[in-house]
Amino acid sequence: MKVAVIRRAHFNAAHRLHNPTWSDEKNREVFGLCNNPNWHGHNYELEVKVTGEIDPETGMVVDLGWLSSLIKEQIERRFDHKNLNLDTEEFKNLNPTAENICVVIYMILRQQIPQKYDLHVRLYETPRNFVEYPA
Residues near a copy of itself (CB under 8 A) are 1-10, 12-15, 17, 19, 30-34, 36, 38-43, 49, 51, 54, 57-61, 63-65, 80-83, 86-87, 94-100, 102-103, 118, 126-135
Is 34 an active-site residue? yes
HEC string of the chain? Answer: CEEEEEEEEEEEEEECCCCCCCCHHHHHHHHHHHHCCCCEEEEEEEEEEEEEECECCCCECCCHHHHHHHHHHHHHHHHCCEEHHHHCCCCCCCCCCHHHHHHHHHHHHHCCCCCCCEEEEEEEEECCEEEEECC
Q: How far is the CB of 68 from a copy of itself (least distance, A)?
A: 8
- Residue number, 74 or 99, with CB nearest to a copy of itself: 99
Closest separation between CB of residue 112 and a copy of itself, Å?
19
102 is catalytic: no
> Catalytic residue positions?
34, 81, 125
